[in-house]
Structure 1
Amino acid sequence: MEARLLERGKTSGRADDNIESIRKRFLTFHQESRPVVERFQADGRVVRIDAEQHRDDVWRDVQALFGPSVVFVLGGPGSGKGTQCTKIAESFGYVHLSAGDLLREERAREGSEYGELINSYIKEGKLVPVEITIELIKQADAMVKFGWEGGRYLIDGFPRSFDNLKGVSEATVCPEFLTH
């Protein structure tokens, strides 16, 4: 880091990019700031990124942390998922996507590719195939409509089974969908 700061000092115009100031800044960091980092780390609130990589690789790792956020909200029927998701969306700026609402909208949509199939599964009390639910989540009516990049999404009522979970793991259109 010292070498990096000295190199930066050649063009930065910063008065503190000299060897004496840099070493004082390191000492201050270790005495004052590092304990804060250690406290956050003990609380499980630190994510480390290898800053010795090429800067494009560092940026890729940073983007992964601040990219889209997907939170799956699960619970039994009547557990208040929808109510709490509405409050979270209003309070924290998430987009609330209800898997059940998306399925109902698709069933009601005239000319729906999936409507009859969804109806038959629901009539039998079975879960709709994961591929259909994921497709509805990713369609223009959902994440694409709201802008995937940097989006914050609550997906209410999905995944509902290990088959659904496996389907999420195999999704390919939005790879970020898998990592949050």
Structure 2
Amino acid sequence: MKTLVIVFHPNLATSVANRRWLQEVAQHPERYTIHDVHQAYPDGAIDVAREQALVEAHADVVLQFPVYWFSCPPLLKKWLDEVLAHGWAYGTGGDAFRGRKVALAVTAGIREEDFTPAGKWRHTLAQLLAPFEVTLNYIGAESRPFFAFYGAEDGPAEHGYAERLARSAHDYVRFLSAL
């Protein structure tokens, strides 16, 4: 079974890092299914049954998103609230994620050195993503380490950005393969 890469980016057309990752993933359609939630539901009305069926049809799941205000885009939170339903994802009979590998793939506009206890924001990215890890544990998923690209807001102004991004895209596919 393939890995489902669920993308939560409010404006993927303007994204540089998330789009580049997906271009790399799209070269392997036999291994990965890319599902752009904002494209599927431009009005934000999520088809819960469809989303649950997509998860059930795949071996592993990756939630890919940009870090927004030190959290996730609003549609990802809504997706979690609605799709991870009692009786399906948790509670009596809720075992849809039991034993399923789930990982996060995030892009952060801020540089990695700012995400340290001594850095500008005094918290690590792992600390900011902890609620997702707790959620995945709660639903019985096999939570995997996250994959991150830091300094996305630097973009082309950064010397060597294109090479760093290309390397990250290749590493992302390797990360997905190792789930």
| Superposition TM-score, scaled by structure 2 size | 0.27
**Which of the two has higher C-alpha Rg?**
1
Q: Which has more helix, going by share of residues? A: 1
- The structure where strand makes up a greater share of residues is 2
